[in-house]
Chains A and B, each alone.
Chain A
Amino acid sequence: MSDPTPDELMTVAAARELTDRTVCFVGIGLPSTAANLARLTHAPRTVLVYESGTIGSKPAMLPLSIGDGELAETADSVVPVPEIFNYWLQGGRIDVGFLGAAQIDRFGNLNSTVIGSYEEPKVRLPGGGGAPEIATLAREVIVIMRQTSRSFVERLHFRSSLGFGDGPGDRERLGISGAGPTVVITDLGVLRPDTTTCELTLTEVHPGVAIDEVREATGWPLAVADDVAPTAAPTPAELEALRALQAARARTAA
């Protein structure tokens, strides 16, 4: 089997953050790939919830959208959209929100709305969708995104979803029950919020990645843990499951 790519290292590391039997609200793209990989490897009883209203989806192939028929057919239950947000997310039934974004800042706030100004954007991105409420109402949030100095920025162009706001105490002041982002997984390594400052701190790097590389791919002076550990290389079983998932999607795209 060929060596894992940076994207594969990221996806496997993200999947490992999900423990079995957690109820996970899944965004499309990288989060959905990682959550399904977890379900097919070490966390078979993880419950995947998609914003189209499918609860307990067990897709055999990766969906392209959050509402592919496969997600409904393999679900334990399909509920209307107001219900998925009001009863299940706002009702406090979601353990983990699994999100991506275009930009993130040192406090784990996310931008998926615009690059440039809101009135005259350089790039108009899709927008918040389900994420703004997932970010505050899930018990915790896992973020997965590729790390570059353009995506890890000193200042967000727009705050679409709240992380730790401007620092310690902000979530509490806003009356938010969820813990916020507990981990950020990238193609270079793993960042976790410092328990005192809430600032994202590099705690792990993927095999072969130097700490300086991660600093260069970060748009602010990156906090680095005293003992940065390497992430464990993907096991053959993990890689095989991930590649089979992606091959199944590629076949449907043929």
Chain B
Amino acid sequence: MAEILGLGEAVAGLVHDGDSVALEGFTHLIPFAAGHEIVRQRRRGLTLIRMTPDLVFDQLIGMGCARRLVFSWGGNPGVGSLHRLRDAVEHAWPGPLELEEHTHAGMANRYVAGASNLPFAVLRGYVGTDLAQRTATVAPITCPFTGETLTAVAALRPDVGIVHAQRADREGNVQLWGITGIQKEVVLASGRSLVTVEEIVDELEPRPGAVVIPTWAVTAVAEAPRGAYPSYAHDYYDRDNDFYREWDAISRDRDGFREWMERHVMAGATVG
């Protein structure tokens, strides 16, 4: 059974210094509120895992929470660079950042392997790229039936998996819809899981195409209205594309970035 907790106590209980922490949500339902709470609680030495680091990891990296990044595409979609991520990789600011780099197909299959309790997944991937040589968790494998050479990727088993969803009931059953991304796989692949939700309701009315994650597969649920902003929650609010554009200027400069984070994140009230 998932515990229903305040966001502050949920992050305090689940996320520890040095943990590997996956925050997923493919453009949609990115758990910004939880990311901000991790920043406010000043977690350090984290291995951050996310297919598309997006603004939320730019913020965590720039605030010094990360030691290592596992990812497959690290840009500001449709806008350009993630300047804090770049500054960490190019100039080790605010500290060095070790990279473990994959492709989207590879990362997706790594989560599937983790959720399936397998040590690795097999795909036709990374072929003819320099990535295959750079990344230790990618290796060729021979099919035992046909002799064909394929690619193996190591399973992802994060210490903590964090996702955002539209809603949960009072038992902690979670429901999400729209672009469902890799949300279910992350929860099932992780040792502990936190799902933040737009709202907690008495009853989850069925929705076509929705993913339901039962309460007994989730560690904690925390209510966080607008908790995916500036990303979006389908049927609740739209992606703030203007803010994604503005982030380019906000994040370009170290002092400007820190000042923005102090004002908008550090000074923000912890929910719960």
Contact = CB atoms under 8 A, between A and B. Distances in A.
Interface secondary structure of A, over-half rule? loop
Interface stretch (B31-39, B104-112, B259-267): B104-112
A253 B239 CA distance: 12
Query: Most A CB atoms within 10 A — which of B79, B103, B232?
Result: B103
B73 A126 contact: yes
B142 interface: no
Nearest to A65: B77
Contact of B129 (A53, A63, A69, A132): A132
Contacts of B81: 124-126
A24 B104 CA distance: 17
A71 B241 CA distance: 14
Nearest to B241: A64
Interface string A52-74: 11100000000111111101100
Interface stretch (B1-9, B83-91, B156-164, B167-175): B83-91
Interface stretch (A81-89, A189-197, A204-212, A220-228): A81-89
Interface in A136-185: 136-137, 158-162, 165, 170-171, 174-176
Contacts of B71: 127
B77 A161 contact: no
Contacts of A85: 104-105, 108-109, 123
**How many A residues are at the interface, by size bracket?**
35 or more
B134 A72 contact: no
Contact of A128 (B89, B129, B209): B129
B101 A253 contact: no
A133 B90 contact: no
B184 interface: yes
A219 interface: no
A65 B51 CA distance: 14
Contacts of B51: 81
B95 interface: no
Nearest to B132: A132
B72 A128 contact: yes
B126 interface: yes
Given A136-B124, A175-B149, A127 B242 contact: no
Interface in A219-239: none
A131 to B, nearest CB: 8
A129 B73 CA distance: 5
B227 interface: no
Given A127-B72, A175-B148, A253-B242, A67 B179 contact: yes
Given A64-B79, A162-B127, A127 B178 contact: no
15 contacts: A54-B179, A64-B77, A64-B78, A64-B245, A66-B77, A68-B27, A80-B181, A81-B108, A113-B131, A127-B101, A128-B72, A132-B129, A160-B130, A171-B128, A176-B128
Given A81-B181, A85-B123, A126-B75, 12 more contacts: A52-B179, A52-B181, A67-B181, A68-B27, A68-B241, A69-B232, A69-B238, A80-B180, A85-B109, A86-B108, A126-B82, A174-B127
